[in-house]
Copies of this chain bind each other. A is one copy, B any other.
Amino acid sequence: MATELYDLTIPVLVRALHILSAILEKGAAHAEAQGIDPATLTQARLAADMAPLIKQVQFVSDTAKGAAIRIGGLDPVPMADTESSFPELQDRIARTIAFLESVPREKIDGHEDAEVILQTPGGALTFTGRSYALGFVLPNLFFHVTTAYALLRQAGVPLGKLDYLGPVTA
């Protein structure tokens, strides 16, 4: 049976947020064990003009909640980008998951062909619900989770590919 838009988005987003949370836990534990200032990790960047780890986590959160809000036509759920520590990032992730889990399936399903408009610094982008999910939300989500993983990996946190892929849920 074909895949409903809810199943194509909400559980995938929630799963990625749990995986990101577990990756960040390992980062925090590594800093603690090695006596590294956690800010060395939370402020790490892959390149001088790329966003630091904190921002990558905020982008994951924004991408995930934005998906539900734009597809479902829901009210914005503002979250101030004020996080500066691992515990605060975990709290941001938990609040994002709680919001996503509160979104009723009927707000998402059936919106495959509905217009979704994304305002960007470069102008408005027009998608359908499906093209937004497959051509923006999921690529962007995994971009920022992967970048967070790469930042911690490059900083020496003991992480492997299975931390990124997470448990198999058939």
- A contact residues vs B (CB 8 Å cutoff): 1-5, 7-8, 11-12, 15-16, 46-47, 50, 109, 112-113, 122, 125-128, 130-131, 134-136, 138-140, 142-143, 145-147, 149-150, 153-154, 161-162, 164-166, 168-170
Is A170 within 8 A of B131, CB to CB? Answer: yes
Q: Quick one: which of B126, B130, B140 contacts A165, CB cutoff 8 A?
A: B140
Chain B residues within 8 Å of A127, by CB? 168, 170
Q: Can you report 21 residue pairs joining A to B where beta carbons are below 8 Å apart?
A: A1-B2, A2-B2, A2-B4, A3-B130, A7-B134, A11-B134, A12-B135, A16-B139, A46-B46, A46-B154, A47-B153, A122-B162, A127-B168, A135-B169, A136-B165, A139-B142, A140-B165, A142-B142, A142-B143, A143-B164, A146-B147
**Bound Cα distance from A138 to B3, whole angstroms:** 15
